[in-house]
Amino acid sequence: MGGIIGLDRRGFLALLGSATMTSGAGPALAQAAPRKGGILRVSSPANPSSLDPATGGSGSDHVFLYTMFDTLVAFDYASLRAVPGLAESWSYPEPATLVLNIRPGVLFHDATPCDAAAVKFNLDRNRKDERSNIRSDLETVTDVTVSGPNQVTLKLSQPDTALPLILSDRAGMMCSPKALRERGKDHDRNPVGAGPWKFVRWADAEKIVVTRNEQYWQPGRPYLDGVELSIITEVNTGLRSVIAGQNDFIYFLSPQQKPVIDRSKGLVSVIGPTLYCVQLYLNWGRPPLNDLRVRQALNYGVDREEFNKATMNGLSEPAAITLPTAHWAHDKEMAKYYPYNPDKARALVAEAGYKDGIDLNFVGFSDQRSQQRQEVLMEQYRKVGIRLRFTNGTVAEMSAAFLSDKRGDGLLSAWTGRADPTLTYQLLFGAGAYYNASRVEAVPEIGPALRATRATEDVDGRRQAFARLQRLVTENALLVPLVFQFELDAHSQRVKGYRPNLLGKPKFEDVYLDG
Amino acid sequence: MIGRRLLQIVPVIMLATFVVFGLLQLVPGDIAVTLAGENASDARIVQIRQSYGLDRPFLVQYASWLWNALHLDLSRSYLSNEPVLDQILHRFPTSLLIVGGALTISLVIGIPLGILAATRPGSRLDTTVTSLASLGVALPNFWLAMILVATFALSFHWFPATGAVALGKDPGLALWHATLPSLALAAGGVAEVVRQLRSALIEILSSQYVRTLRAKGLSPASILWKHGLKNVSVTLLTVIGLLVNRLLGATVVVEAVFAIPGMGSLIVHAAIHKDFPVVQGVVLAMVVIVICLNLLIDVLYTILDPRVGLR
């Protein structure tokens, strides 16, 4: 079994080049044709917040949602470019108008049609319903009209070419309008979508079961008769369940578990790059982090390579900007902006008026891995005169403390990523955005630069717009990206056809069981 | 007597639930913010607080909960919206099976070992048993659980590494799943039973009336079975009572190691996510179980030893 612990540069580049790496599986090309049948048993690390795409709020919900909900737009696994989903095509007849052509003949699990009227119902609900957590995703949409039996037209407040990929996320997951009307809030726990599998039951914090949708629109799909997702919050226990053969698949493993997978006979590990970025969020709206020199010192003062080795077993990509190397909008130039330079960091701290060093109060999480990261950072920053202190608690509590209650100068957490990078930048740096603790734009150019990323449909044009936006973010040191964590999954050898995606949230649509 | 004891239960339950309710109020963070999700408006958060009654004064909230609990309505989970009583009734049998299994193992192994050690005090056998008992007390449940999983589930594949099956669904499979968790829980129980039984039995066997019995020519077996064990039965009963209480608490850790959906994992999940009605409901259930068990043991005392009056 090939291991990539302590990846050297060559190994790392090889991993990025191949986008994913599978060990212990044997030659991929030797796989037989997909077989139909069988139940995939999955160990999942978290109970979903809701099974309604609009009302849920956790990034770990997607793995459950993908089984039951198809999205209007899908994405290419390796590059995250938009590809047809329930919408078989789309166009911008005018810069501020998006037309979606809905695939005819698609049915929800309750046999009602997933047509233009259903799409309008869903989009209106997602952008207006008070229980919707994704209203901001569709904030540029001012009106949705049914312009044909299988066509909807979205009127926009401004040109927005980010929308197709936004519709590959929660906002594009279509629920049955009939079920939503009849079930109300109960749809959170008893959902009806148009995805490859139908909801069967959810035993809270225990198990979610879905079964094959016989009326699925893709011929011959899905391969699996069903998926059983057991909620095992302790990932070591979850991994043991796969080693013992009680489950077939586990995801969201930590890098420290790679040696365990390698030692286990009959287990296949899958590694792939993701958007998941471990980072320091900063509140630049007030002292002391309203001083650019202090923020820059935080970026120069961290040794990301060392952080990767010490906390991630080498299983991550050191991060200097918001998008990883594999992403289509990654900017190579900006990625070199903050090399590790402790002398410069120390000088910047002194220049900012803190001759004896500076004390910063951060908030973080109390789990073991977070505390290990904190210890490494505290030690690294101590050497450049930055004394970090962490107040810890649960993820929900401390995230809310920093992002809502404005406690702390910064937060050590992660960004799970969004399919379209505009949304990532908007949510992290836009004025009033939830993940922007200061709630203000650091520099006035951010707003126009954000709008520019939505203005053109052309990929090269968008890439240039993102480069300009990333330059603003990097030069102003609006956060401290640390590492992009690789997706690490493990499965038994009978699981075939699985491919990780750059979003880092497993989908099982291509999976089949052998034997 | 039983009526009076039952009346004593009321203030105990009220005190325990009041303390837990109070502690939960001290937990930092706002469940309304969590339930409202990201990007929620302040109005939405206020609306959630109102709909769950979180904006009412503490004592009013507690009184409302208590009144509903008296009518067997333990409220609904904030997260899943399921009735808390249903969740407890669904999960309790799983935990009970593990605890019952651990108690059985503790007694089946602990009693013979305790007798053997007590009847041969100072012997090599006694030293070995006493040492093993000390080890059993010292071993952390979670560590032993992982060793058992690594050996019997991952290496030999004799038992499942995780999960549970309802006893009513498939008794054989349920017992098979419960074996390793019960063994992990039982280590401390075996040690406790051995130590207490040995110590009590040695005291009895060295008492004057036993010496008299020996002098009268009774066989050692007769002395042990008719007089020794009968006299230690009250001690054993006390140990069992304490053991069950401890085992119920220990399920929190063992259920996490084996991914068992029982009462322990239920309260941990609820506490982490501030699902207060569930925490409160599980605490109430645990308190009632412990009190009822203690009451049962008090009644059994009087049967085993009529000198213990029902005062």
B54 located within any domain: no
Rounded CA separation A89/A75 (Å)? 13
- Reported as a single tens digit per residue, the pLDDT across B138-160 is 888 889 999 999 999 999 999 99
Token digits of residue B99: 């605890």
What mean pLDDT do residues A237-243 have? 94
- The pLDDT, as a whole number, for residue A6 is 34
Nearby residues of B103 by Cβ (< 8 Å), 6 or more positions away? B186, B189, B240, B243, B244, B247
Strand order across the beta sheet in which A39-44 lies: A21-23, A267-272, A487-492, A249-250, A39-44, A226-231, A207-212, A197-203
- Of A49, A188, A204, which to mutate for an interface test with B (greatest number of B Cβ within 10 Å)? A204
Question: Is B264 part of the contact surface with chain A (CB cutoff 8 Å)?
Answer: no
Chain A residues inside the 8 Å CB shell of B163: 230, 241, 246
Contact, A418 vs A327, CB < 8 A?
no
Contact yes or no for B29 and A393 at CB 8 A: yes
Give backbone dihedrals phi and psi of A190, rounded to 5 degrees, phi first: -145, 65
Banded pLDDT at B168 (limits 50, 70, 90): confident
Residue A250 has pLDDT above 90, yes or no: yes
Nearby residues of A432 by Cβ (< 8 Å), 6 or more positions away? A439
Contact yes or no for A133 and B161 at CB 8 A: no
**Mean pLDDT (chain A, rounded):** 91
B303 located within any domain: no
Question: Is B86 part of the contact surface with chain A (CB cutoff 8 Å)?
Answer: no
Banded pLDDT at B81 (limits 50, 70, 90): confident
- The pLDDT, as a whole number, for residue B30 is 76
Residue A240 has pLDDT above 90, yes or no: yes
- The pLDDT, as a whole number, for residue B49 is 87
- Of B33, B39, B257, which to mutate for an interface test with A (greatest number of A Cβ within 10 Å)? B39
Rounded CA separation A5/A7 (Å)? 5
- Reported as a single tens digit per residue, the pLDDT across A123-139 is 999 999 988 988 888 99
CA distances A158 to A93, A129, A336, A445, Å, are 14, 22, 33, 17
Strand order across the beta sheet in which A316-318 lies: A316-318, A479-485, A277-282, A410-415, A358-365, A386-393
Question: Is B34 part of the contact surface with chain A (CB cutoff 8 Å)?
Answer: yes
- The pLDDT, as a whole number, for residue B309 is 59
Please give the share of chain A, as a percent, with pLDDT higher than 70: 94
Element (H, E) at A97: strand A97-102
Enter the DSSP assignment of A216: -
What mean pLDDT do residues B23-38 have? 76
B297 located within any domain: no
DSSP A385-444: TEEEEEEEE-HHHHHHHHHTS--SSEEEEEE---SSHHHHHHHHHSTT-TT-TT-S-SST
- The pLDDT, as a whole number, for residue A13 is 42
Banded pLDDT at A23 (limits 50, 70, 90): low
Q: Which residues of A386-422 are buried (b: 16+ CB within 10 A; e: fewer)?
A: bebebebbbbbbbbbbbbbeebbbbbbbbbbbbbbbb
Nearby residues of B80 by Cβ (< 8 Å), 6 or more positions away? A189, A204, B87
Rounded CA separation A273/A20 (Å)? 7
The CATH number assigned to the domain holding B239 equals 1.10.3720.10
Of A233, A237, A397, the CB nearest to B29: A397
A106 to chain B nearest CA, in Å?
Answer: 30
Contact, B256 vs B184, CB < 8 A?
no
Banded pLDDT at B1 (limits 50, 70, 90): low
B149 located within any domain: yes
Contact yes or no for B256 and A136 at CB 8 A: no
What mean pLDDT do residues B259-271 have? 91
A354 to chain B nearest CA, in Å?
Answer: 33
B136 located within any domain: yes
- The pLDDT, as a whole number, for residue B9 is 81
B109 located within any domain: yes
Token digits of residue B167: 């006893």
**Mean pLDDT (chain B, rounded):** 88
3-state secondary structure of A195: coil
Of B37, B41, B44, the CB nearest to A57: B37
Rounded CA separation B132/B117 (Å)? 11
Chain B residues inside the 8 Å CB shell of A247: 162
For residue A339, the Cα-to-chain-centroid distance in whole angstroms is: 26
Other beta carbons within 10 Å of A115: 21
Domains identified in chain B, total number: 1
Chain A residues inside the 8 Å CB shell of B278: none
What mean pLDDT do residues A442-471 have? 93
Please give the share of chain A, as a percent, with pLDDT higher than 90: 78
* Chain A residue closest in CA terms to B147: A240
Banded pLDDT at A22 (limits 50, 70, 90): low
Question: Is B93 part of the contact surface with chain A (CB cutoff 8 Å)?
Answer: no
Residue A59 has pLDDT above 90, yes or no: no
Token digits of residue A422: 């505009």
B114 located within any domain: yes
∠ CA B78-B84-B87, nearest 5°, is 115
Chain B residues inside the 8 Å CB shell of A404: 33
Nearby residues of B151 by Cβ (< 8 Å), 6 or more positions away? none
A240 to chain B nearest CA, in Å?
Answer: 7
- Reported as a single tens digit per residue, the pLDDT across B93-122 is 999 999 999 999 999 999 999 999 998 888
Best CA proximity match to A159, nearest among A144, A173, A142: A142
- The pLDDT, as a whole number, for residue A497 is 95
Banded pLDDT at B79 (limits 50, 70, 90): confident
Residue A7 has pLDDT above 90, yes or no: no
Rounded CA separation A351/A339 (Å)? 19
B311 located within any domain: no
Question: CB burial class (10 A; 0-12, 13-18, 19+) of residue B10?
Answer: exposed
Kindly calculate the radius of gyration of chain B based on its CA atoms and give it in whole angstroms: 24
Kindly calculate the radius of gyration of chain A based on its CA atoms and give it in whole angstroms: 23
For each of the domains in chain A, give its residue range(s) and CATH number, in order of start: 9-47+204-274+487-513 (3.40.190.10), 73-182 (3.90.76.10), 277-484 (3.10.105.10)
- The pLDDT, as a whole number, for residue B21 is 87
Residue B22 has pLDDT above 70, yes or no: yes
- How many residue contacts between A and B have a Cβ separation below 8 Å? 96
Question: Is B140 part of the contact surface with chain A (CB cutoff 8 Å)?
Answer: no
Question: Is B269 part of the contact surface with chain A (CB cutoff 8 Å)?
Answer: yes
- Reported as a single tens digit per residue, the pLDDT across A358-409 is 999 999 999 889 999 999 999 999 999 999 999 998 887 788 889 888 899 9
* Chain A residue closest in CA terms to B267: A205
Higher-confidence residue of A25 and A42: namely A42
Which amino acid belongs to residue A301? Answer: G
Lowest mean pLDDT among A4-18, A49-63, A81-95, A389-403: A4-18
Contact yes or no for A234 and B161 at CB 8 A: no
DSSP B158-175: -S-SS----TTT-HHHHH
DSSP B163-217: ----TTT-HHHHHHHHHHHHHHHHHHHHHHHHHHHHHHHHHHHTSHHHHHHHHTT
Which amino acid belongs to residue A445? Answer: E
Question: Is B257 part of the contact surface with chain A (CB cutoff 8 Å)?
Answer: yes
Residue A27 has pLDDT above 80, yes or no: no
Largest CA distance in chain A: 70
Token digits of residue A476: 């102003």
Of A49, A203, A394, the CB nearest to B272: A394
Enter the DSSP assignment of A243: H
- The pLDDT, as a whole number, for residue B45 is 82
A183 to chain B nearest CA, in Å?
Answer: 14
A44 to chain B nearest CA, in Å?
Answer: 11
- The pLDDT, as a whole number, for residue B13 is 86
Structural domain boundaries enclosing B132: 93-261
- The pLDDT, as a whole number, for residue B38 is 62
Other beta carbons within 10 Å of B56: 14
